[in-house]
Chains A and B, each alone.
Chain A
Amino acid sequence: MNPMVKAEGVHKNFGRLEVLKGIDLEVQPGEVMCVIGPSGSGKSTFLRCINHLEKIDAGRLWVDGELVGYRQKGDKLYELRDHEVARKRREIGMVFQRFNLFPHMTAVENVMEAPVQVKRESRAEVRERALALLDQVGLADKANAYPNQLSGGQQQRVAIARALAMRPKLMLFDEPTSALDPELVGDVLAVMRKLAEDGMTMVVVTHEMGFAREVGDSLVFMDGGVVVEKGHPRDVITSPRHERTQSFLAKVL
């Protein structure tokens, strides 16, 4: 079986700033990988490379055995067209720190938008599925609310439902709870935990060490654009091998 995500020597520069300096990682199907690291270490950038929101400058990146952003013929790489990139993104869900719900649509319309507009599925069918998904994240009664009528935690759960509506095989979470008031974090984490139990492959950038320890199958510590340490969450948290990991954990725990 192909790994769901495979990165080999992934580099990314913004102008002269080298943000990713050779990332090697593998995420197996069904695995929940948590990524931690100090601010600016390149966690978000790596996540965004996986669904090609950022273009990588060197190395190779595969999702489910297919190269991200390029087609390989012989030893030549061909850039994918806009609509080809878009098609691949449909199989990868992403949840953002700042929710990014569409403010001019109700919760259920947010969830329905992509399946109806992108996959051209029938409205009635999608609507039923959307309502079921909202129910699953505990928001059955908020289907017709606009995002500005929802709390941060509710918005983030709608955002998760929106991503799930595309039936992705991989979910990316970029600090999904960092913008939330502490008492709202639990609801969102509960939804993510349920998702993990159902077997979803997830890459989660987070500072929630409790979640990483209990739900994560692996934990990656990034610093300065490289993976410093990777292992089972319990091992990394309780007995980090690298000094940098130790000092970072000392600050967040």
Chain B
Amino acid sequence: MTNQADTSTVDDRGGAPAPPEKISAVPVRHPGRWVAAAVLLVLAAMLVHSLLTNPNWKWAVVGQYLFAPRVLHGMLLTIELTALAMAIGIVGGVIVAVMRLSPNPIVSGIAWLYAWFFRGTPVLVQVIFWSFIAALYPYLSLGIPFGTEFVYFDSNKLVPIFVGVVLGFGLNEVAYMSEIVRAGILSVDRGQTEAAEALGMTRTKIMRRIILPQAMRVIIPPTGNETISMLKTTSLAAVVAVGELFTTVQLIYGSNYQQIPLLVVASLWYLVLTSVLSVFQYYIERHYARGTVPLRARGFRFGRAQGGLS
């Protein structure tokens, strides 16, 4: 392409068609969007104003407790509970999902029964139940079923309250994760299994190397949801007094009656944690998007929608 100053005369000289003129049309206006944005901005300003000027929020108290060691310790427990419960949920979910898809009707039936039971009863009941499992089975033993026992455990030592809570949340999560994983597995084209089978791969290998990595794209977004939801659901552990974040602030405002500021403290930390999780999720999603989207390096952005006002 020539780049001379007199491009407008190309036609006269060579008979070649002039390069098409760049379009400069008036873009479509969206007055509705502007009105909506203005209304929302005013509302947001009112909210911020009230947060800052209403003395009942007691920001000084919030500041005082935000980094209090007790609160931070509670938050740590919340993170531990969430991480452990989700670890159980994901590993167990994959196992139950694979069982559910098994050609053996007994295996798939048991998997179905599991999901039916754990999704059908409230998680709060399950958590309390597991925390008090020691009352139900004071001893646990290993041995031949209905026969000789070799090893005995004292359940109170084996299942302290914290473990009970983790089990309660974890086993419940297995039921939900199994459905998520199953949907992911079913989303992978049948031809993938056939191609892998034709290459001589075994069932487990195919699942691990071919199916699950592709299912991940479908599995991860709802798993992110589950994790964020678990983070907040762990606050239910307050009923059995495991000292996670919510229990801790309840204990504090139980003695100093500063309910509002302490609930703000808890909410702020929950928000921080969920935000961190969202960033994690973004990078995991990008990892598993290999080969499905044109490789384009893009940083993390809150709110992924494109487009703007105009």
List the interface of chain A (C-beta within 8 A of B): 51, 53, 82-83, 86-90, 92-94, 96, 98, 100-106, 113-114, 117-118, 146-149, 159, 162-163, 166
A57, B199: Cα distance in complex, Å: 23
- Taking CB atoms, residues of chain A closer than 8 Å to B292 are 103-104, 148
Asked if B203 contacts A82 (CB within 8 A), the reply is yes
* A87 closest partner in B (C-beta): B200
A118-B191 contact given A104-B290, A163-B199, CB 8 Å threshold: no
Hey, what's the 0/1 contact readout for B166-208 against A, CB within 8 Å counting as 1? 0000000000000000000000010110111111111101000
- If A83-B202, A100-B194, A114-B200 are given as contacts, then 12 extra A-B residue pairs at C-beta distance below 8 Å, sorted by A number, are A51-B198, A88-B200, A89-B200, A92-B198, A100-B192, A101-B195, A103-B291, A104-B213, A114-B199, A146-B290, A163-B198, A166-B200
A96-B200 contact given A103-B214, A103-B291, A146-B291, CB 8 Å threshold: no
Asked if A102 contacts B198 (CB within 8 A), the reply is no
Asked if B199 contacts A96 (CB within 8 A), the reply is no
A86, B203: Cα distance in complex, Å: 9
Asked if B291 contacts A105 (CB within 8 A), the reply is yes
A93, B195: Cα distance in complex, Å: 10
- Name the residue among B198, B292, B294 with the largest chain A CB count within 10 angstroms: B198
- Taking CB atoms, residues of chain A closer than 8 Å to B214 are 102-104
Sample (5) of A-B pairs whose CB atoms are under 8 Å apart = A88-B200, A103-B291, A104-B214, A117-B205, A146-B291
Hey, what's the 0/1 contact readout for B283-295 against A, CB within 8 Å counting as 1? 0000010111011
Whether, in the assembled complex, B209 has its beta carbon less than 8 Å from a beta carbon of chain A, the answer is yes
- Taking CB atoms, residues of chain B closer than 8 Å to A53 are 194, 197-198
Cβ-defined partner of A113 (8 Å) among B194, B197, B209: B209
Cβ-defined partner of B199 (8 Å) among A83, A106, A113, A147: A113
Q: How far is the CB of A206 from chain B (nearest CB, A)?
A: 18
Cβ-defined partner of A82 (8 Å) among B194, B198, B202: B202
Q: How far is the CB of B201 from chain A (nearest CB, A)?
A: 6
Cβ-defined partner of A102 (8 Å) among B197, B203, B210, B294: B210
- Taking CB atoms, residues of chain B closer than 8 Å to A163 are 198-199
Interface residues in B195-237 (C-beta closer than 8 Å to A): 195-203, 205, 209-210, 213-214
Asked if B197 contacts A117 (CB within 8 A), the reply is no
A-B contact count (CB 8 A): 74
A94-B209 contact given A100-B192, A102-B192, CB 8 Å threshold: no
Q: How far is the CB of B273 from chain A (nearest CB, A)?
A: 30
A117, B194: Cα distance in complex, Å: 16
* B210 closest partner in A (C-beta): A102
- Taking CB atoms, residues of chain A closer than 8 Å to B288 are 104
A118, B201: Cα distance in complex, Å: 6
* A91 closest partner in B (C-beta): B200
A98-B291 contact given A86-B202, A90-B200, A118-B201, CB 8 Å threshold: no
- Taking CB atoms, residues of chain B closer than 8 Å to A89 are 197-200
Asked if A162 contacts B199 (CB within 8 A), the reply is yes
Q: How far is the CB of A188 from chain B (nearest CB, A)?
A: 17
- Taking CB atoms, residues of chain A closer than 8 Å to B191 are 96, 98, 100
- Taking CB atoms, residues of chain B closer than 8 Å to A98 are 191
Asked if A86 contacts B195 (CB within 8 A), the reply is no
- Taking CB atoms, residues of chain B closer than 8 Å to A92 are 198
A104, B205: Cα distance in complex, Å: 15
* A145 closest partner in B (C-beta): B291
Cβ-defined partner of A90 (8 Å) among B199, B290, B291: B199
Interface residues in B71-96 (C-beta closer than 8 Å to A): none
A86-B201 contact given A104-B214, A117-B209, A146-B290, CB 8 Å threshold: yes
* A48 closest partner in B (C-beta): B194
A149, B200: Cα distance in complex, Å: 26
- Taking CB atoms, residues of chain A closer than 8 Å to B200 are 86-90, 114, 118, 166
